[in-house]
Amino acid sequence: KIVNQLTNEPGYDAEATVSPDGKSIVYTSTRSGDLELWIMDIDGENKHQITKELGYDGGAFFSPDNKKLIFRSSRPKTEEEITKYKAYLAEGLVAPTNMELYTVNVDGSDLKQITSLGKANWAPFYHPDGKRVIFSSNHKSERGYDFDLYMINDDGSNLEQITTESIFNSFPMFSPDGKYLVSASFDSKIKLFDVEKNYELIGELDGHNDRVVSVRWHPEVPLLISTSADKTARLWIPDT
């Protein structure tokens, strides 16, 4: 049952996530004429724009202390890239193939690019310590769909590769206590890693019939929810 509609602007309002304190929502919107990040109160009030540079900004998550955002961005630089981006945008489309990661304060200040790896770097999520970010990237891949997981400090230092499988690993998320890492895969499975055992793969949750497109931990109890291209959502209690 839908209890409240939070946005009603024409165009794109999507990719929403809730702050850890439950007070705010960050989302991507075209209400300013470009694909920018916006924040609103949990009840839909006090909408304000965070990013303002030309390009697609999306997939944002709050830091554990609610003070910063981590997000992916595809920002055209050359005249040809800008023309192509605007043409797609006019049709309500976007085709980001090169994406880098950025951080920004929730008031829009101190925007920083923290990766310059090339190709697609996306699906970032903060470690519970608030100092590191897990993300998915194909920058080492010879095939576009081979994505591995990487860790980086949120100042852009100390890049570390976490997985080395030649498959699609993405949508990573740490458990609230930081002991486990979960990620989605296009082989229809959810992968569970033990952080304290150097990210050893300790389990695979198998129940979807098509690629897994999102997986998230409950913020308080050991419960996972996943969604899939098979048009189902599943709840899991992982055996940890």
Confidence of residue 143 (pLDDT cuts 50, 70, 90): confident
Mean pLDDT of all residues in 166-172 = 84
Task: Tell me, rounded to whole angstroms, the distance of Cα 236 from its chain centroid.
Answer: 21
In the chain, the amino acid numbered 160 is E
Give the residue among 109, 164, 112 at the shortest CA–CA distance from 137. 164
Among 59-63, 96-100, 160-164, which is the least confidently predicted range?
96-100
pLDDT of residue 158: 97
pLDDT of residue 222: 87
More confident site: 11 or 159: 159
Q: Is 43 buried (19+), middle (13-18) or exposed (0-12) by CB count in 10 A? A: exposed
Max intra-chain CA distance, the chain: 52
Would the pLDDT of 115 be above 90? yes
- Quote the DSSP letter at residue 196: G
Phi, psi of 201 (to 5 degrees): -70, 115
- Percent of the chain topping pLDDT 90: 85
Would the pLDDT of 58 be above 80? yes
Would the pLDDT of 12 be above 80? yes
Confidence of residue 166 (pLDDT cuts 50, 70, 90): low
pTM as predicted:
0.93
In the block, tokens 């509609």 appear at 5
Confidence of residue 144 (pLDDT cuts 50, 70, 90): low
Would the pLDDT of 154 be above 90? yes
**pLDDT, averaged across the chain:** 94
Instruction: Compute the half-sphere exposure of residue 71: CA atoms within 13 Å on the CB side of its CA.
Output: 31
Contacts of 142 (CB under 8 A, 6+ apart): none
Mean pLDDT of all residues in 123-150 = 92
Which run of H or E residues covers position 84?
helix 79-90
